[in-house]
Amino acid sequence: MENVGAIITGSSRGIGKATAIRLAQDGFHVTVNYRQDEKGAKETKQTVIDHGGEAIIVQADVTKPHEVQKMVEKTTEEFGDVGVLVNNAGFSHHATLDELSHQEWQKGLNVNLTGAFNCAKAVAPKMKTLGWGRIVNISSLRAMTGSDHGSHYASSKAGILGLTKSLALELAPEITVNAISPGYTRTPMTKDSLKEKEEQIAAKIPLARVAESPEIAGVIAFLVSHDGSYITGETINANGGIYMR
């Protein structure tokens, strides 16, 4: 169902930006969300417009339910309906258990998991009224493998998988809810680690390279399209074969 609003959280850069551009190309009206990176959000919006799409920018912290609600209301005012939510906003940094503070642990849960819950809770009534909806949650390879330098990140992204299955059961049949677990992907978040170790990382991946953000956006586009209408509660591992279930 094109020509409805699509909220992509954290879409000022990386996978979120690529997704905003792709969904706009597919006919959705896009809400570009950011918390701090206003410049990046404006660049995303302009790219959407340059590709013939329609977009608005809404600043909102996904950890704050009242800001999320205002984002949903603004999207509805501008586009009439909200039919798509992509929970992409995330927080990650490297820290072992002895280095990780309680504040950083909580921030990882708040942004990556509670933020997705806040957004889903806000859009679900709109989608139920519309009689159609797609929610895609961005998890991570680390949800499957764990992490020796980011237990907060891996734990919150694993929680996304449980949230996805639960909401898929609860919100059917009108709304599908799925997750994507990207592997190593070229984004601003991974820029430093790839600069140092891209060759070593690529050598571990059967496809022998890291993903580009538009490739992950393409999987999201499939899940929110008519072609993805009979898929719900699933996690798609887009990781080049580095992890197979």
Through-space distance between the first and last CA atoms of the chain, rounded to whole angstroms: 32
Determine whether 243 is an active site residue: no
Question: Catalytic: which of 153, 184, 230, 243?
Answer: 153
Tokens of 134: 């797609």
- On whether the CB atoms of residues 67 and 61 are closer than 8 A, the answer is yes
Tokens of 60: 């909102």
DSSP alpha helix (H) spans, the chain: 14-25, 38-50, 65-79, 102-109, 115-130, 142-145, 151-171, 191-204, 213-224
Angstrom distance (rounded) from CA 143 to CA 224: 22
Residue where the block lists tokens 């309906």: 81
What is the crossing angle of helices 115-130 and 151-171, to 10°? 20
For residue 127, give the 3-state DSSP assignment. Answer: helix
Tokens of 151: 């237990």
Centre a 10 Å sphere on the Cβ of residue 184 and count the other Cβ atoms it contains.
Answer: 21
Catalytic (active-site) positions: 153
